[in-house]
Structure 1
Amino acid sequence: MEFYTYRLPNGIRGIHRQVKNTVAHCALVINAGSRDEQADQFGLAHFTEHAFFKGTQRRRAWQVNCRLENLGGELNAFTTKEDTTIHATTLRGDFAKAAELIADIAFRSTFPDRELEREKEVIVDEINTYKDSPADMIYDTFEDMLFAGSELGHNILGRKAALMRYDGEAIRRFIARTHTTDQMVFSSIGNFSPKTAQSVAARYFGEQPATVRGFRRAAPGAYAPFEKTVVRHTHQTHCILGSRACGIGEERRLPLALLTNLLGGPSANSLLNVVVREKNGLSYNIEASYTPYGDTGIVAIYFSSDHGNAEQCLALIEEQLRRLRSTPLTARRLSMAKKQFIAQLAISSESNESYMLSAGKSLLTHDDVDTMEQVYAKIQALTATQLTEVAEEVFTDMSRLIYR
């Protein structure tokens, strides 16, 4: 069995995969992100993630940061729109130490005001760095417009003025409302038995009292496609074309993921890279992405180019989208696309850390995890007609945002 799953009495779920490796990875995946912030809390989920490292009832900030590093391991965290993840990498023999440390900062952080004030300056610098990068900022601006009026709309970092208002009490209220045990998964991968993994999880996470989430996420309202140009006096034109797409639990997710990979995935032979960059030399960076959320998603095509080349890039992109909407792939092209996608997934699964994180997220979202063989079989079963139908649905009337 590829995965072993379990549930602690307090509702925290666990998943483990045993592999032959000297390195172990583990993570606490919490189903709480910037989408769960209230109107006066924008940026608080991300600030909470930073605050976890500022000291606990048992450790000062420097002890948190050095606990695993002194052993040659790593401790880190990240926040998305829908989840917060604390993860660690250690040698196999230090797995229990990593689990204990994650539990300590997740459940016993003290959020001292002095440390929080210092960390605010770090996040301000992060916000400033982000504002200096139009390639990053345009994504958040686009998503804000695409999900206008929804909790999915605002960016994860928040604004400086709001950040300065937050204190330890604000963090504790946010955690009490969103970081409930029924919305947590402890994921692990390493060369030790599932029984060991569950025993360690029970020792360090099982003593936490059971809590249940008291709210449901609101689905985003309807939207109309838009076109907007923003003058930012950038050296290049930056552009995003995109639209809303299917959520993480929908059957159309897999054909859309395959389509997006074919259109503008990481390979040099993606349709957009070939026609825009290789054949015409119009853009150094062009890519397509699909990000699924719990009840919706976003498909986006991004490129940057010299100002005089932007319109030609857009015309070439629109032509590729038209073809995908109107002409089913040939059997040979479909077979190649499937083989490439499966190979990319297989290679990415060679990273045990990435595999561990995706398994935890899958269990959190679906309460189940497909094996890689099951995923490959689903990809192989996709038809050209399915891809054309999804392309017609998603790649029609796409919105457009341009920075000049």
Structure 2
Amino acid sequence: MKARTQALQDGVRRTVLPSGLRIITEEIPTTRSVSLGVWVGIGSRDETPAMSGASHFLEHLLFKGTHKRTAMQISAEIEAVGGETNAFTTKEYTCYYARVLDADLPLAMDVLCDAVADSLLQPADVETERGVILEEIAMHEDEPGDEVHDVFTEAIFGDHPLGRLISGTEESITPMTRSQINSFYRKRYTPPNIVITAAGNLQHAAVVKLVRKALAGSALDAGSADPADLRQATKRVRTQKPHTVVRNRDTEQAHVVVGGVGIGRNDDRRFALGVLNNVLGGGMSSRLFQEIREKRGLAYSVYSYSSQYADAGLIGVYAGCAPGKVEEVLDLIRSELDRVAVTGITAEEIARGKGMVKGSYVLGLEDTGSRMSRIAKSELLYGELMSVDDLLARVDAVTPEEVNAVAADLLAQRMSLAVVGPFDETAFPAG
């Protein structure tokens, strides 16, 4: 089987290697840098309860050394040329990335592919990183503004993998063995699950050669297969009945999230929801910001958001305020949600919301890192690469009726409530 190459858009090309590994590049000759990413279509939702946190654990371990390089050499070789490298784990994928000068792309490709394909996972490193991750989990619990979002997600999805912490918990990380992590690594990190993307001053054919050279003889240079299929929305994720979850913490500020079930990422209503979200709580001109912060000074931070997965989604409104003001803030949030669900939003607000969606998207593509992420997510999550013009046209095509319909559908539902602060459950009666 030969490698198959196709042009996706002007400057964007895609090659599928015989192993099923995909390489996608975007040529941006006006820059002097290249952003490179190795994306693995495996995240925390692919773990069993006993392996909760394995993807994140592995993300830490892959930079700890290979047969060719020590952990120090992995970081030092990139930093010696002024580059940077890091990684992150989400619920549906993991990314290892680097950004370097264009002339240093061969080095970055070799280092990054080496780390992802040939990590040793030494027992001593497993124990060291176990301690680091347990500290990370403890640190996260000391950040109530972050913790409340995890509490809310669990309130919506319960014990479904989407409801679990990406980092895992102390109970899952502590007993996890090197053998278990290595088995997860070798079974999941296979060529069909991997997409390598690069954006910047590059040539596609040269990048393909660099990938093949970097992976030659490794575990990712074997077999003949087609790329993995998109994660399928075979059935809707079961969600929890609306309820309240309170985490008692001795904090100076209370943190709350009110929200409910949203939509999946391939739902055609996502463009209308993006407009609605910006009007509701997406910026300083949004309804919630104006009502709660500007007019009443009840909270420093208040915003709405949505999260979308292959087969599920959620919507939420966050606010951080003094504990004594929580009841008033919650009343205002709920009143605004009810008002928008019933009466919708104005044509002027919809025009402003569209402008915010389009502006944030285009301005977010001003660097090679965001362009690299765009082509990777298009491949991994959507299976198609929409041009910027096509995406802007989709936003422009959103009608007031579509925005108000999605508002009526999502905002009229009974909502769950997550609270982190100096309270107990009895402080927030059901309903």
Does 1:5 pair with 2:14? yes
Map of 2:389 onto structure 1: 373
Map of 1:16 onto structure 2: 25
**Which amino acid in structure 2 is aligned with residue 374 of structure 1?**
D
Q: Offset of 1:143 from its aligned partner? A: 0.9
Does 1:268 pair with 2:284? yes
Question: Which range moved further: 3-12 or 52-61?
Answer: 3-12
- Check the 8 A contact 1:289/1:301 in 2, yes or no: yes
So what's the TM-score if we normalise by structure 2?
A: 0.89
Which among 238, 248, 256 is matched to residue 265 of structure 2? 248
Which among 124, 130, 136 is matched to residue 140 of structure 2? 130
Map of 1:82 onto structure 2: 92
Map of 2:425 onto structure 1: none
**Consecutive unaligned residues in structure 1, runs of 5 or more:** none
Superposition CA RMSD, Å:
2.0
Map of 2:186 onto structure 1: 176
- Check the 8 A contact 1:36/1:178 in 2, yes or no: no
Question: Which range moved further: 344-353 or 190-199?
Answer: 190-199
Q: Offset of 1:71 from its aligned partner? A: 1.0
Q: Offset of 1:247 from its aligned partner? A: 1.1
**Which amino acid in structure 1 is aligned with residue 290 of structure 2?**
V
Does 1:120 pair with 2:130? yes
In the TM superposition, what whole-angstrom CA distance separates every residue of 1:74-93 from its partner, at most 9, and x where no partner exists? 11100011111000000001
Which among 28, 44, 47 is matched to residue 57 of structure 2? 47
Does 1:359 pair with 2:375? yes
Map of 1:94 onto structure 2: 104
What does 1:286-305 correspond to in 2, within 5 Å? 286-305=302-321
| Distance (whole Å) between structure 2 residues aligned to residue 293 and residue 323 of structure 1 | 27
Structure 1 residues 348 and 68, CA, compared in 2 at 3 Å: closer, same or farther?
Answer: same
Q: Secondary structure at the match of 2:407?
A: helix
Map of 2:161 onto structure 1: 151
Which among 53, 68, 74 is matched to residue 64 of structure 1? 74
Q: Secondary structure at the match of 1:90?
A: strand
Structure 1 residues 198 and 324, CA, compared in 2 at 3 Å: closer, same or farther?
Answer: farther
Q: Secondary structure at the match of 2:19?
A: coil
- Check the 8 A contact 1:149/1:220 in 2, yes or no: no
Which among 154, 160, 166 is matched to residue 170 of structure 2? 160
**Which amino acid in structure 2 is aligned with residue 269 of structure 1?**
S
- Check the 8 A contact 1:237/1:306 in 2, yes or no: yes
Structure 1 residues 123 and 88, CA, compared in 2 at 3 Å: closer, same or farther?
Answer: same
Q: Offset of 1:349 from its aligned partner? A: 1.1
Map of 2:428 onto structure 1: none
Does 1:209 pair with 2:225? no
Q: Offset of 1:205 from its aligned partner? A: 4.1
**Which amino acid in structure 2 is aligned with residue 201 of structure 1?**
V
Map of 1:191 onto structure 2: 201
**Consecutive unaligned residues in structure 2, runs of 5 or more:** 1-9, 422-431
Q: Offset of 1:193 from its aligned partner? A: 2.1
Map of 2:429 onto structure 1: none
Q: Offset of 1:32 from its aligned partner? A: 0.6
Q: Aligned pairs, how many?
A: 403
Instruction: Tell me the percent identity.
Output: 28
In the TM superposition, what whole-angstrom CA distance separates every residue of 1:279-324 from its partner, at most 9, and x where no partner exists? 1100001111111111111211111111221122112212222232
